[in-house]
Structure formats: C-alpha cells, structure tokens
Structure 1
Amino acid sequence: MRKHSKIPKIKYPLLLLIPAAILFALALEPFGFTSAGFLCIFLLLYFTKQLTTTSNWKQTLTSTLLFSSLVTLTSFYWIWNAIRNISGQGVILSSLLFLIYALVSFYKIGIIFFGSVFFTKQRKIKDTYFFLLVLPSLFLISDWICPMVFPVYWGDLFRNNIIWRQMARLGTEVLGFVSVISASLLYLMILKSDKGIRGYLPYLLPIVCFFTINLYFLAETIPQGPTIHLTLLQPNTEYAKREVQENQVWMTKTIQSVYDIGLEAIRNSPKPIDLIVIPESAIPFLGTLDSKDQNSTYSKSFVEITESLVRNSNAPLVFNELVSDEGSRNSFTLLHPISMLSERRYKQILLPFGEYLPGEKQMPWLRSLFPETSRHMPGKLTDALRFQTKTGETVTFSPLICYEILYPDLVRKMIEHSPPEFILNLTNDSWFESQTETMQHAGAGRLRSIESGRPIVRVAVTGLTTAFDPWGREMMGELQTFQKGIGYLDLPTVLEERTTPYIQFGPSPWRFMAVFLIFFVFFRSPRRILSNKMKNEIEI
C-alpha cells in the first residue's frame, strides 16, 4: 500500500511565498516573534522541496525575484523613505527606484532555490540528507557570499528569543544554521514519523540539545570590569539636506539645542559622569578639526560647545562630526578633559547611496538621481579608545558609527586588533523616518553583543537609544523615538580578555563545514538518470 505524505502538496506553491514573507516580517522588530521565524523557515523548506520537483529554472528565478520583493515590501518598506530623501525625487521616480531595489535586495534566497534545484537535478538525494545537510548549508552559504546594502542574516529571525539567540556566541551564521536544522527536523518528523511518541524522539532530541547548549551560554558567568556612569543625549535633530548647510539660523538653533540638552544632562545627573555621549549627526555638516582644506568643515561654535560641556562636567565627551582629512570623513571623536585633546576614529564601512555613490565614476549621471549622497572616504582599522573614569580607572571601548553595527566581521576584527571593555555605537536613523527601521537597526546590536561577549551602548540622534548586555538583554529603559531625551546608564564593563567562540574562531570553520557537507552529499548520492534516456538504459 502506498503511503501518503503527511504534508500535502498545494496547487500553486508560489502562493506560499506570501505568508513566508509576512512571517519573515513578524520575526523581526517591532514584533519579534521567534515562532514566526521558525514558521517562515518551515514554509521555505516546503516551498524549496516543491521547487525541486518541477526543476524549472524560470520558475526558480521567478521565485527568487518574488520573495525578494515580498520581503522588502513587508519587512523593509521603510527603505522607500530613505530613497525619497536621498534622491530628492518625487513619489513616482522614488517608487520606481524602490521597486527595482526590492527585486534584487534579498537575492540571497536565490542561493537556496537555485542550489537546491541544481543538486536535485544532478543527484538523487535522500530527504534526510536534503533537509539536514544540503538546505542548512545553503542557508549558511547564502549568509556568507551575498553582500547586501542592508545586511540581514537568517539568524536575525531569532534574535528576540532570549534562550535561542545565545547560539550567536558561535556567530549569527551558526544561529541561522542551527535554526534551519531545527525547522528541518520538525519537517522530517511530520513527514516520516508514524510510530507515535517514540518516532518523534530522534527528531526532537537534537533540538533539546540545542536548547541545552543555549541554556549553558545563558547561565555563563562573565568576569566584570569597572562599572561606569554614562550620560546619553538624544537631541532629536531632524535629518538635514544640503540646503540647510547655508542656513545660519537653522544651524545656530541646532548647535544651541545640543548644548542646552547637554547642560541639562550635566545638571541633573544622579552620579558623577564618567562619559558623555552625543550621537551621530546631532550637529550635521560641521566639525572641530581646523583644516587648511578648502572643503574644511571647521566650526568655532562647535568647538566652543564641546569644550564647554567637557569643562562643566569634568568628563570626557564622545561626539560625531564631519571633518576634512585627506577627504571627507565621518568621524567618531573623543574629547578629553583638562588637556582638551581630541582622538578621532573614522568610519570604515560606508553606507552605499548615503555616504558614497557606487559606480559614480563609471556612471556620473547617478549623481543627478541621488544629489544628497555624500562623498565620504573610509577609515582604517585602529586601536580602541581609552578614557579615565572619576575613580581613576582607565576604560577602553571600540567605536562604531551607525551602519557598522550590521557587520559581525568588522566587530570581530576590531576586538581582535584591540580588545575593548565595551562597544559604543553612534547612529542616525532620521533619514528613514521609521520606528520599524530604527528598532530593526537596534536589534542587530543585540546579536553583536552576544557574538562579541561585550555590552553594546547605542546612542541615536532621534532614537532608539538603548544598551544590551553580553546576553543581548536590554540594560536600560529605551528612550522614546523622535523625541528629545536624556539617558543615564550604569554600565558594567567586561575584562579586555573576554572572548567568545565567534571571536576566537570566527565564521571560517562553519563555512568550511557547510561546503564540506554540500560536497559530501553531492558525491555520496547517486546520479539521476537523464530524462532523455530510457529507464532501462545502463549509464556508464
């Protein structure tokens, strides 16, 4: 008697991509439903299996473009605002640019779809191999080899579950890999099990093991360094187009507003301040570096307010500025008290279309489409910054500017090069005009804190200003977005020697494992008989 699959086939599999994309959005902020992430992966596994039965390249390409578009429209719809603000174009052209971007923005799903169809066309792969070795490996490889304007990893779908996300100690790619394996185990359990509870155990046992590992990570005791008192300013400066750079009234008002909120924070601080933090773009276009360059951004008023805040608090000040140093630089600046010496670190990974225009040399006409795009130069890897607390202890931290928090590899390189006791991220999400975007951006910092084993403090010009401990838990009440605010944070740092498996080994072992599993299954499985051959023909 023929056994029927417990997972029924549907007539139009492409329709599955709609609920999969909706579940993708529900897994991310502001919803953060981990169960939605698992259901999304489950539907993608089922859809990919259906895709391999047709083995149609056109349908595979259609599926890739469709899912990319649906994910952008449901999860990252806020990108439209950024395109409109940066391009300065009307609704019609901005919408057209957004739709073009949507078609290819999540092209990494094509690695999974095309890879699965290719392998099943060439080999007769057992379901167990396909779901537990091939598909999870393709998911990991897609995270690895697919650069994106706004990097999103499969592990990001699970960053809001306090237990499950601890797997990011091994890296976000591993969190995604393990999550896909777990969804695959559930798929196989439904597909194959017909022996009652005993038949479920082989599939549930690995998932229980993953939970046990995560519980161990969650219970880990992390040696602490000194606790410091931070004052975080959120001035709520609106995004500024170039036209306001010459508007003296607007610039003066902005500088005064930042200075006023800084003085208020100093007066009302419940404890002696160890560090004051002003976010990215609090005072746009200007800087404190007195450069002879004709494009110098030097502002005497900027210098005066920063030095005044340092003198009034007798504490170091961190702020963002635009300086001219062999080109335009997005700078993270630390101003020390007493000596009034400044240390600068320049942003290393620039935002495409926001801070530089890809392909501008080859296609100069792109500048007419994106007139607000800056011409910044990237910085280089440098040492962590140091400052002295009120109790006389020296504390080190790694500086990140906005977009850089999205890159695990960058954070790892910085820690390997010069280990810090915490990470400080200055950011500006005002261009997106979306609370969803700023929550998703902040959520990336949650995984960076787990990967690095260090607290991450995020200070945003319009919000979300928050902080995460080394387990990804919030350490302070979030300041409301699009409002002025002041946050005070007693931050327990960690020792510089603190490490995690990801910091020690990086992503390479897991990437090698994924490639090995792909080759193992490919050469382990028998060849498929070509469709144009007779079934009884012997293949030599």
Structure 2
Amino acid sequence: MRKHSKIPEIKYPLLLLLPAAIFFALALEPFGFASAGFVCIFLILYFTKQLTIVSSGKKTLLATFLFSSFVTLTSFYWIWNAIRNISGQGVVISSLLFLVYALVSFYKVGIIFFGSVYLTKFRNIKDSHFLLFVIPSLFLISDWICPMIFPVYWGDLFRNNILWRQMARLGTEVLGFVSVISTSLIYLMILKSDKGIRTYSLYLFPIFCFFSLNLYFLSETIPQGPTLHLALLQPNTEYAKREVQENHAWMTKTIQSVYDIGLEAIRNSPKPIDLLVMPESAIPFLGTLDSKDTESTYSKSFVDVTESLVRFNNAPLVFNELVSDQGSRNSLTLLHPISMVSERRYKQVLLPFGEYLPGEKQIPWLRILLPETSHHVPGKLTDALGFQTKTGEIVTFSPLVCYEVMYPELIRKMMVHSPSEFILNLTNDSWFESLTETQQHAGAGRLRSIESGRPVVRVAVTGLTTAYDPWGREMMGELQTFQKAIGYLDLPTVLKERTTPYIQIGPSPWRIMAVFLLFFVFFRSPRRILPHKMKNEIEI
C-alpha cells in the first residue's frame, strides 16, 4: 500500500504564529526573501485550518492579538523609536504605548481568522473550495477594509522577487491574492499527495500560468519619454523637535549646510542638471510663503537659499517646506528659474499621531501624551507639476510627500486625474532612527512603480535615497544612510499616456470577485450539522 503523505498536525497550533511572524519579517527588507513570504502564508493557512476545527471565538481573538504583536515585534520594532520621539516620554511609558500599539497594529489578520471560523461553523466547505476560494478572498478583503497607521499589504511580502512581483501591474492586492492561491495549491498538493505524482500537475499548472503572466509583464516594452539628469540631495539633517525652532544657531547651521551641499551638487555635476531635488525636512519648520498668519513659518533665509540655488544652476528646484495657508501645510514646492515662480502641492494623506492627532477634540489629553505631534491640514487632489528641461522639453511629475507612497489608491487617483512621466517622493525617516524602517518604506515605492508603470524617485533626508524603474528595479546605487550624500541620476521617463491594468480598472473588480467567491462557496456548501443537533437526532 502507498504510504499516505499528509500535513502533520501539531498539538499546540498557536506556537506556529511566532515562526509565521519571523518569516513575515524575513520577507520584508532588509532581508527581502520572497520564499519566506510563501512559508509565512503556508503557516497561516495551516493555522487557520486548525482554528476552524476548534471553532473557538476566544482562541481566534487570542490568535489575532498574538500574531499582530509578533509581527510588530519582529518586523516593525522600529515604531518604538517613533513613539519615544513623538511622545517625549521615558522608556517605560514609550514601551507600554508600543505594546498597546503592537496588539492591534496588524489586526487585519483577524479578518482571515474570524471569517474562516464563521464560514466553517455553519457550512461544510471542501478543502479545495476553502483553500482556493475562501482564504485568498479573505486575504484580499483584509487588505481592502482594514486601514492601518503604517499600511502593509499581503502583496508586500513578495515585492523583492522580480519574477513574481510583476503581478502588481494588476494591483498589490492582486499580487497578494495570487500569492495566497499559489501557496494554497502547494498546500493541497501536499495534502493530496497520496494520489501520486501524476496529480501534481493539476496543482502546479495554475502556478505556472501565474509565473508566465509575470514574465509577460517583465518583458513588456514601455514607451519612453525624455531622459532627465537629476541631482538628489541627502543633507542628513537630524530629526528636529519643536525646541530647535527657537535655537537660532541650530537653524542657521542647518540652512548653511543645505545651501553648501546644493552648491556642491551643482558644481560637481557631470552634466547639466534638469532638476535639483531636496528631501522632506531638509530645513525643518520653515517656509517661503509670506503670510500674515500669526503662526507664519516664513523665513527670508530659506527664500534666499532656494532662489540662489535656482539662479546658480539655472534649473528648477524641488524642495519641502512648511507653510501657513488656512492652517499648517506640509508642502512640496517647485521653484522655476527666471520667473522665480513657486508652485506648491500640499500633502494629502497625513500620518496619524505624527502630523495630526485623531480624536484630539474628543480626547484633549492626547496632546499632553504626544506633544511633538503636528497640527497639519491635508491638501486636495491637484494636477501634476511640470518643468522645462535644459533641452527645452516639458516634463511632468506626480508629487508625493513621505507617507503618501504607502497608498496605492492615492497614486491611482493622481494618475487618472493628471497623468505624468514619473513620480517624485520626498521623505524624512529620521524620526525612526532605523535602517530597517527606511528600507521598508523605500520598498513600498518599488510596488508603486510597478502599479503605475512609472519610475519612482525617492529622495530622503537621511537616506535611503534611490529610484525604481517601472519594473521595480533600482536605477541607481543606494546612497549611504545617515550620511551627507549627493546622488546623480539619469532618469528615463515614460510617456504620460502610459497606463497599466491597475490604473485603468483599479481594485474594485477584484474586491467584488472576492466577495462573490465567499457568497458562492457559502451558499453552495451544505449546512453543517452542529454537535448538539446531531445528538438530538440520534435520540429521536
């Protein structure tokens, strides 16, 4: 007789959550092992299957809290530094706040756990339907309906494999959905391995089709626009708390340092610069918009620095500033040469607890607990910014400030509203004081480039300054983090008419499909006879 090869059961399935979280961390930067992402999903599939057997609400809730905590402690431990810096509290209070955050930060896994337990409690669902339709759909729905302070999608676990991540052309949610289906097929293949090796093709063929579609996207020819020469400044300005606003010596030194690195970039450039770029918070707290507001951030020194660099280079300058315009605004500004006209785009998606306090009006004491949190006001959707190159061509770019690069749907809205040739992201990760954080943050830009079909240029105040082409490949060597540096980039843009399936149709069809699959499996599966009802029937 053939020896059956089944997936072994373990006595305490909760123990699987820790290795699953560790593989989750290994899938993200700085490791970037996509294979670890598949192992993580495999362990979650196995655990979820065991959870449906127990069918306990308390254990499901416990599992949600545990996995959320393990993921935060292994992958996003750097959030502790941000909490400490924003709160200004000591180690004990900061640690308590971090642990509370860890319990619920990745609550989206609860959609998978509770959804699976609920469905199987009332229906007898076949393994194949459960693993190939129900669980992948719950993964996609969890990406959709679960807002997070630092958004992480299941597809992010696979963004570092060039031969697999191209599925993000359809959206990061689809990349996650397809990856879960592929893992489920391997799970089923092992589960049904007693049927012999000939049946393996039934499970491997869909994975081969997914792989082929990725290869098709990877080999795609993209219409190219003008090639630009960019100078990217990384001034390594330390994160600044509010007290330095009144420190004249510190502010003067910072302004001079930024001016010096700008001059150095212009003088040492190997070819004429089409666009000079400063990162977010290169010069913190100040702005160039003259305002009569009592909280005006206007600085004549800031104006002099930016205008001097533009005149000396005879090319436009992009920089970040804080301006007062019907409230405090985090702004990306483009300063044109000759006319010295400034165009501003205000940050639309603000970082909760960093740039504003959710529920501050209802809970005023939050401001006492988090005194470094800003009072910024979000901007609105606007047109792309355009400038003239040294060869006389007009090129446009979509502006993103820091945190905004985490949101796929924001980029899609911007592209539909006003297409551009490339995406420019100014960012400041200095508050986190972590190389892991800045690498993970930069990794989000990799998927945004694939989704939008456009290069993404990331300019960071302390690093990581880099750029990605429309396939998510790096186009320049990463500048060393936490050091002053200048990066020169010959950027091949794409035509603004360029589009992708994600830009064209968005995530809605896939979300509708996921909901439909859940209803389809639920109503097509026979009712499950509950134990107490079965006992009554036997007695009768």
Q: TM-score range by the shorter chain?
A: over 0.9
* Structure 2 partner of 1:426: 426
Q: Which residue of 2 aligns with 1:43?
A: 43
Per-residue displacement from partner, 1:288-327 (whole Å, max 9, x unpaired)?
0000101000000000000000000000000000000000
1:535 offset after TM fit, Å? Answer: 5.3
Give the superposition deviation at 1:197.
Answer: 2.6
Q: What amino acid is aligned across from residue 305 of structure 1 in structure 2? A: V
Aligned position for 1:313: 313
Give TM-score, length-normalised by structure 1. Answer: 0.99
Deviation at 1:287, TM superposition (A): 0.2
**Contact 1:33 1:160 survives alignment (8 Å):** yes
Residue 194 (structure 2) pairs with residue 208 (structure 1): no
| 3-state SS of paired residue (2:297) | coil
- 2:163 corresponds in structure 1 to 163
Indicate if the aligned counterparts of 2:280 and 2:320 stay in contact, CA closer than 8 A.
Answer: yes
Residue 179 of structure 1 aligns to which amino acid in structure 2?
S
1: CA distance between counterparts of 2:453 and 2:116? 35
Give runs of aligned pairs for residues 175-190 of structure 1, distance below 5 A.
Answer: 175-190=175-190
Answer yes or no: is the 8 Å Cα contact 2:2–2:194 preserved in 1: no
TM-superposed deviation, 1:533: 1.2
**Equivalent residue pairs, number:** 538
Identity of aligned residues (%): 85
SS at match of 1:343: strand
1:389 to 2:389 alignment: yes
> In 1, are the aligned partners of 2:4 and 2:193 still within 8 Å (CA)?
no
* Structure 2 SS opposite 1:376: coil
Equivalent residues of 2:235, 2:462 under 8 A apart: yes
State the Cα distance separating 1:199 from its structure 2 match: 1.2
C-alpha distance after superposition, 1:217-243 (max 9, x if no partner):
000000000000000000000000000
d(CA) in 1 for partners of 2:181, 2:412: 25
8 Å contact kept, 2:400–2:426? yes
Corresponding residue of 2:121: 121
Work out the CA distance in 1 between the residues paired with 2:426 and 2:28: 22
Quote the residue 1:99 is aligned against: 99
Matched, 1:11 2:11: yes
Distance 1:194 1:67 in 2: 32
SS in 2 for 1:92: helix
Cα distance in 1 for residues equivalent to 2:126 and 2:320: 55
Amino acid at match of 2:119: F
Residues 474-520 of structure 1 show CA distances to partners (whole Å, capped at 9, x for unaligned) of: 00000010000000000000001000000000000000000000000
Structure 1 residue 530 displacement after superposition = 1.9
Give secondary structure in 2 for the equivalent of 1:340.
coil
1:348 has 2:329 as partner: no
In 1, the alpha carbon distance for the partners of 2:520 and 2:537 equals 27
Determine if contact 1:529/1:535 at 8 Å carries over to the other structure. Answer: no
* Inter-partner Cα distance in structure 1 for 2:537 and 2:167: 49
Looking at structure 2, the residues matched to 210 and 465 of structure 1 have their Cα atoms a distance apart, in angstroms, of 32
- State the Cα distance separating 1:350 from its structure 2 match: 0.2
Q: Aligned-pair distance for 1:196?
A: 3.1
Match of 1:379 in 2: 379
Residue equivalent to 2:66: 66
Instruction: Specify the alignment match of 2:436 in structure 1.
Output: 436
Whichever residue aligns with residue 273 of structure 2, its letter is I
Query: Per the alignment, in what secondary structure is the counterpart of residue 232 of structure 1?
Result: strand
> Which amino acid is 2:483 matched to?
Q
Superimposed CA distance per residue, residues 56-103 of structure 1 (whole angstroms, 9 cap, x where no aligned partner): 000000000000000000000000000000000000000000000000
SS in 2 for 1:476: coil
Select between 189-198 and 404-413 the one with higher mean Cα deviation. Answer: 189-198
Aligned-partner SS, 1:348: coil
TM-superposed CA distance for 1:338, in Å, is: 0.1
Note the C-alpha offset of 1:4: 5.8
Question: What SS does the corresponding residue of 1:233 show, helix, strand or coil?
Answer: strand
User: What's the offset of the Cα at 1:286?
Assistant: 0.2
1:364 aligns with 2:356: no
For 1:534 and 1:438, the matched residues in 2 are separated by 56
> 1:185 deviation in Å?
0.2
For 1:238 and 1:329, the matched residues in 2 are separated by: 21
Quote the residue 1:511 is aligned against. 511
Report the counterpart of residue 469 of structure 1 in structure 2: 469
Letter in 2 for 1:40: C
Partner of 1:150: 150
SS at match of 1:320: strand
Q: What is the letter of the counterpart of residue 228 of structure 1?
A: L
- Contact kept? 1:422, 1:454, Cα under 8 Å: yes
- Counterpart amino acid of residue 409 in structure 1: E
2: CA distance between counterparts of 1:481 and 1:474?
Answer: 16
CA contact (8 A) 2:4 2:194 kept: no
Distance 2:473 2:228 in 1: 18
Q: Distance in 1 between matches of 2:424 and 2:112?
A: 35
SS in 2 for 1:53: helix
Q: Distance in 1 between matches of 2:90 and 2:497?
A: 52
Deviation of 1:32 (Å): 0.1
Structure 2: distance between partners of 1:269 and 1:288: 26
Q: How does 1:243-262 map to 2 (within 5 A)?
A: 243-262=243-262
Residue 239 of structure 2 is matched in structure 1 by 239
Shift of 1:200: 0.4
Q: Secondary structure at the match of 1:194?
A: helix
Kindly indicate whether the alpha-carbon contact (under 8 Å) linking 2:65 and 2:103 is maintained by their aligned counterparts in 1. yes
Aligned to 1:304: 304
**Partners of 1:239 and 1:444 in 2: how far apart?**
22
The whole-number CA distance in structure 2 between the counterparts of 1:53 and 1:440 is: 36
The residue number in structure 2 matching 1:285 is 285
Residue 144 (structure 1) shift: 0.1
Q: Distance in 2 between matches of 1:282 and 1:307?
A: 16
Paired with 1:361 and 1:163, the residues of 2 have a C-alpha distance of 48
**Residue aligned with 1:383, SS:** coil
TM-score (norm 2): 0.99
Match of 1:451 in 2: 451
What SS is found at the alignment partner of 1:487?
strand
Letter of the structure 1 residue corresponding to residue 518 of structure 2: I
SS in 2 for 1:292: coil
**What's 1:326 paired with?**
326
State the distance in 2 between where 1:125 and 1:395 align: 55
Q: Distance in 2 between matches of 1:5 and 1:120?
A: 25
Match of 1:268 in 2: 268
Give unmatched runs, 5+ long, in structure 2: none
| C-alpha distance after superposition, 1:360-412 (max 9, x if no partner) | 00000000110000000000000000000000000000000000000000000
Q: Is the 8 A contact 2:133 2:521 kept in 1?
A: yes
Give every structure 1 segment of 4 or more consecutive aligned residues whose post-TM-superposition deviation is greater than 4 Å.
1-5
